[in-house]
């Protein structure tokens, strides 16, 4: 019976068992390699707690092959960064003392399907296998080496790979921390609840790239994305941000297929050239696709035509632009803010074939890095390839530059280490080594500790996670420059999520000058010490208190100024008056608070006066806002819902157009349910206008003042001569109607106390039909 876990759990186990049975049989230990030694497709390091690792050691294969060429930077550098971090943690007496971290590191080959197949290794230990009925040829039971239990996974690199792996790891509640996956989809905590990352989401990156595009004054761009979660989600976020901010038009969005056919990249370049004015190309693509795009651009003789802007998958990598420097010249790229880890440089430069046998791919790296062959049988005649001497040194006999994500790999491993340390401290207090409550480690509990970590990373940057497992957004902006025949990435700027600046400033203040609680006996001194009473206070100074309230006061003053500036704007589309009254009252309250609070600092009763003043001021300020801003709205919603409807807006453009096109201004024969009729022209403009046509262009215009409650209209020439009402009664225009003058403008007509519409005429023979805006009257 499925029990508490449900049928879904058992179906998942059955499916994984089938996959594992297809991926390979269980090998007796006598036939396999000894524990602690590398296997054919993974690195295995023994430890009390085992962490999984996923790295793109090789690129995607072609012609049906799963894996392609070796990735020296993106693969080997990052893999060695994890080994470097494990060594540091295991040698740190203060972090996980007497607990050794082991590892099981796999090669994803930059392909999500291959990574899924490889990551099944991480869940083998969680699937029970019954070997009682298995017998060897001699009739005896086999010796089955049960795989180690992986408690957490570091990786993967590509977002599509991380998404594929995250879907299976969450079934077995194995937390995952990525060092490079930035797709916004991974922020969905309902789908990827066991996924975290030490790099910011592409949501921040898209906003940063839009800001850079606007700063460079590029207003017409194309986008290019690799098929998959990273590329498609990144471009989608960029397009959305560009629409929100405005000023950037997208000429076309081109997608690179997951498995591109021969000639596919030449076709992409031709398509980008279709919009020749959109020379700027925004790229969210993987490293291999970027290189192929640059190669296709050079092949099409378009060197210097395109202005490239690359996401963090390009960053400051050498591999995408190697031997393509002229095509990539001037490219602007972005990369999460990082620093070079000097300790890793010393570590990696000291790696040799003798001291790094745990890395099963290091020999392949050695041959590729030094352009030599380790085996004499691999040498071909006339190939000009030398034999490796094993005396080569990284950084001396070959070029070396630390890969950009090394820092984040180390931070990811340390995040897992700090989470395990905090978990051990709470579950195994005073115990040396693992205790029964952490054997095995519960993945759900470990995830809570991961989301709560807060420490200084290897480069000094704080490592934290939000509720979705994302890191804060901080980026460096690079440009690929050619100078004197040499090419390099030059930092030309930085971008930070400014929403966190205020919080950061407060945190810095509390770190630099933290406040403390003190017991003050000064105000409660008595002659008899037994009756003395102390007051628990904060030791903050008056100046610090003013600085603390300064930001709120700045907002309050700014809001008051703008309330005064907008007090004359029509009430049909703003709430300047209630906001203004609220801010005037708030300013008066706090202006009274300052002299009372700080003026009584020398008073004997200052404790009572200042406490009362602060309490009254805060309460009164909040009550004013509630009473003047929110309570009227609550009153309307609860007791007069019929008034909770949007007000009709009058369009000045519609009024002028209606008067101009008098011959096209026709009345509809039907009335609206509310008793109003509309002209066809006003209906098209979606602006109801209580104004009939005339014989001039334009005789009538709306005035920006409607405080009396009636409409004011302006005649273009002279004053009105005579008007007749709807009862065809002609009468002279009252003097008051033509007496409302404004400096430099024509006379104004005030339609007050008019029972119905009027037909008026000025001395030049201009005729117009006018009526008041009273809802009880119907226009003609």
pLDDT (mean) for 213-229: 92
Chain segment 757-779, per-residue pLDDT in tens: 555 555 555 555 554 433 333 33
Stated as kind and residue range, the H or E segment containing 207 is helix 202-215
The C-alpha atoms of residue 14 and residue 171 are separated, in whole angstroms, by 13
What backbone phi and psi angles, to 5 degrees, belong to 191? -105, -35
User: Would the pTM of this model clear 0.85, i.e. be above it?
Assistant: no
723: confidence class by pLDDT, cuts 50, 70, 90: low
The C-alpha atoms of residue 531 and residue 519 are separated, in whole angstroms, by 15
Chain segment 385-438, per-residue pLDDT in tens: 888 988 999 999 999 989 889 999 999 999 999 999 999 999 999 888 999 999
Residue 297 vs residue 582, higher pLDDT = 297
- Does the pLDDT value for residue 102 go beyond 90? yes
> Quick one: which of 39, 108, 19 has its CA closest to 68?
108
Residue 497 vs residue 393, higher pLDDT = 393
The C-alpha atoms of residue 759 and residue 780 are separated, in whole angstroms, by 11
679 bridge partner residues: 667
Residue 624 vs residue 308, higher pLDDT = 308
Instruction: Say how far residue 498 (Cα) sits from the centre of its chain.
Output: 12
Instruction: State residue 382's pLDDT score.
Output: 61
731: confidence class by pLDDT, cuts 50, 70, 90: very low
Instruction: State residue 591's pLDDT score.
Output: 81
Tokens of residue 354, six digits:
């003798």
The C-alpha atoms of residue 490 and residue 480 are separated, in whole angstroms, by 6
Chain segment 611-622, per-residue pLDDT in tens: 788 888 888 888
C-alpha angle 615/621/627, rounded to 5°? Answer: 130
Instruction: State residue 253's pLDDT score.
Output: 94
Chain segment 665-691, per-residue pLDDT in tens: 334 333 333 333 333 333 333 333 333
487 bridge partner residues: 482
The contacts found for 557-564 with CB under 8 angstroms, 24 or more apart, are 557/587, 559/583, 560/584, 560/586, 560/587
The C-alpha atoms of residue 767 and residue 547 are separated, in whole angstroms, by 65
Say what percent of the chain tops pLDDT 90.
41
34: confidence class by pLDDT, cuts 50, 70, 90: very low
pLDDT (mean) for 35-54: 77
Instruction: Say how far residue 768 (Cα) sits from the centre of its chain.
Output: 58
316: confidence class by pLDDT, cuts 50, 70, 90: confident
Residue 193 in contact with residue 466, Cβ under 8 Å? no
714: confidence class by pLDDT, cuts 50, 70, 90: very low
Residue 445 vs residue 500, higher pLDDT = 445
β pairing state of 486-496 and 474-483:
antiparallel
Q: How many CB atoms lie within 10 A of CB 370?
A: 18
Instruction: State residue 222's pLDDT score.
Output: 95
Instruction: State residue 107's pLDDT score.
Output: 95
Instruction: State residue 665's pLDDT score.
Output: 37
381: confidence class by pLDDT, cuts 50, 70, 90: low
Q: Which of 172-186, 523-537, 620-634 has the highest mean pLDDT?
A: 172-186
The C-alpha atoms of residue 327 and residue 325 are separated, in whole angstroms, by 6
Scan for tokens 């004359």, then name that residue: 568
Chain segment 274-306, per-residue pLDDT in tens: 998 899 999 999 989 999 999 999 999 999 899
- Does the pLDDT value for residue 323 go beyond 50? yes
Q: How many CB atoms lie within 10 A of CB 306?
A: 24
717: confidence class by pLDDT, cuts 50, 70, 90: very low
- Does the pLDDT value for residue 93 go beyond 60? yes
Across the chain, mean pLDDT equals 76
The C-alpha atoms of residue 532 and residue 564 are separated, in whole angstroms, by 52
Instruction: State residue 139's pLDDT score.
Output: 66
Stated as kind and residue range, the H or E segment containing 336 is strand 332-336
Scan for tokens 């404790």, then name that residue: 607
Could you give the 3-state DSSP secondary structure of residue 380? coil
What b/e sequence results for 139-156 when a residue is b if at least 16 CB atoms lie within 10 Å of its CB, and e otherwise? Answer: eeebeeeebbbbbbbbbb
Residue 652 vs residue 350, higher pLDDT = 350
């Amino acid at each position: 019976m499925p029990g508490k876990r449900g049928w879904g759990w058992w179906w998942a186990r059955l499916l994984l068992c089938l996959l594992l049975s297809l991926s390979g049989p269980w090998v007796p230990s006598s036939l396999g390699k000894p524990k602690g030694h590398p296997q054919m497709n993974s690195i295995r390091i023994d430890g009390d707690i085992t962490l999984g690792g996923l790295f793109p050691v090789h690129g995607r294969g072609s012609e049906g092959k799963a894996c392609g060429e070796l990735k020296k930077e993106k693969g080997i550098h990052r893999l060695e960064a994890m080994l470097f971090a494990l060594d540091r943690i295991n040698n740190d007496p203060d972090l996980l003392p007497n607990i050794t971290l082991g590892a099981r590191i796999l090669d994803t080959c930059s392909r999500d399907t291959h990574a899924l197949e490889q990551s099944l290794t991480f869940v083998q230990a969680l699937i029970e296998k019954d070997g009682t009925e298995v017998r060897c040829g001699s009739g005896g039971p086999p010796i089955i080496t049960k795989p180690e239990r992986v408690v957490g996974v570091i990786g993967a690199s590509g977002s599509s790979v991380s998404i594929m792996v995250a879907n299976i790891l969450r079934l077995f509640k194995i937390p995952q921390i990525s060092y490079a996956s930035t797709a916004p989809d991974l922020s969905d905590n309902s789908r990827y609840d066991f996924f975290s990352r030490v790099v910011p989401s592409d949501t921040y990156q898209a906003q940063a790239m839009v800001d850079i595009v606007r700063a460079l004054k590029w207003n017409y761009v194309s986008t290019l994305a690799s098929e998959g979660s990273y590329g498609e989600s990144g471009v989608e976020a960029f397009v959305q941000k560009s629409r929100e901010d405005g000023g950037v038009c997208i000429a076309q969005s081109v997608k690179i297929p997951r498995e591109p056919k021969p000639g596919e990249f030449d076709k992409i370049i031709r398509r980008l050239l279709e919009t020749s004015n959109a020379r700027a190309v925004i790229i969210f693509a993987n490293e291999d696709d970027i290189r192929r795009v640059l190669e296709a651009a050079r092949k099409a003789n378009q060197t210097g035509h395109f202005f490239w802007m690359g996401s963090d998958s390009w960053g400051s990598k050498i591999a995408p632009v190697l031997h393509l420097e002229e095509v990539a010249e001037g490219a602007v790229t972005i990369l999460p803010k990082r620093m070079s880890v000097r300790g890793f440089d010393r570590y990696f430069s000291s790696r040799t074939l003798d001291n790094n046998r745990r890395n099963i791919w290091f020999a392949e790296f050695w041959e590729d890095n030094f352009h030599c062959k380790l085996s004499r049988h691999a040498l071909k005649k006339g190939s000009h390839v030398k034999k490796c001497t094993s005396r080569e040194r990284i950084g001396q006999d070959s070029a070396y530059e630390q890969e950009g994500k090394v820092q984040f790999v180390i931070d990811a491993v340390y995040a897992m280490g700090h989470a395990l340390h905090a978990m051990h401290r709470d579950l195994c207090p005073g115990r040396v080594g693992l205790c029964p409550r952490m054997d095995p480690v519960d993945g759900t509990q470990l995830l809570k500790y991961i989301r709560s970590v807060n420490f200084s990373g290897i480069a000094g940057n704080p490592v934290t996670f939000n509720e979705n497992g994302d890191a804060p957004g901080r980026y460096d902006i690079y440009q690929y420059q050619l100078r004197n025949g040499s090419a390099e990435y030059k930092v030309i700027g930085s971008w930070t999520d400014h929403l966190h600046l205020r919080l950061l400033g407060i945190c810095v203040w509390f770190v630099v000058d933290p406040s403390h609680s003190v017991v003050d006996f000064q105000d409660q001194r008595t002659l008899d010490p037994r009756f003395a009473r102390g007051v628990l206070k904060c030791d903050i100074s008056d100046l610090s208190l003013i600085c603390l309230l300064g930001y709120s006061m700045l907002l309050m003053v700014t809001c008051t100024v703008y309330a005064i500036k907008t007090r004359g704007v029509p009430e049909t589309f703003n709430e300047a008056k209630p906001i203004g009254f609220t801010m005037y009252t708030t300013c008066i309250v706090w202006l009274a608070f300052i002299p009372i609070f700080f003026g009584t600092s020398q008073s004997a009763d200052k404790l009572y006066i200042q406490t009362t003043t602060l309490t009254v001021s805060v309460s009164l300020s909040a009550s004013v806002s509630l009473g003047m801003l929110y309570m009227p709205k609550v009153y309307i919603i609860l007791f007069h819902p019929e008034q909770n409807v949007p007000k009709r807006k009058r369009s000045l453009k519609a009024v002028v157009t209606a008067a101009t096109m008098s011959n096209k201004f026709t009345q509809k024969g039907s009335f609206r349910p509310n008793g109003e009729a509309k002209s066809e022209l006003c209906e098209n403009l979606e602006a109801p206008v209580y104004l009939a046509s005339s014989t001039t262009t334009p005789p009538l215009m709306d005035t920006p003042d409607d405080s009396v409650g009636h409409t004011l209209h302006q005649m273009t020439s002279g004053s009105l001569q005579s008007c007749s009402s709807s009862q065809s009664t002609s009468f002279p225009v009252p003097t008051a109607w033509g007496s409302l003058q404004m400096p430099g403008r024509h006379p104004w007509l005030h339609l007050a106390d008019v029972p119905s519409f009027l037909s008026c005429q000025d001395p030049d023979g201009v005729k117009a039909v006018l009526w008041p805006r009273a809802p009880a009257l119907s226009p003609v």
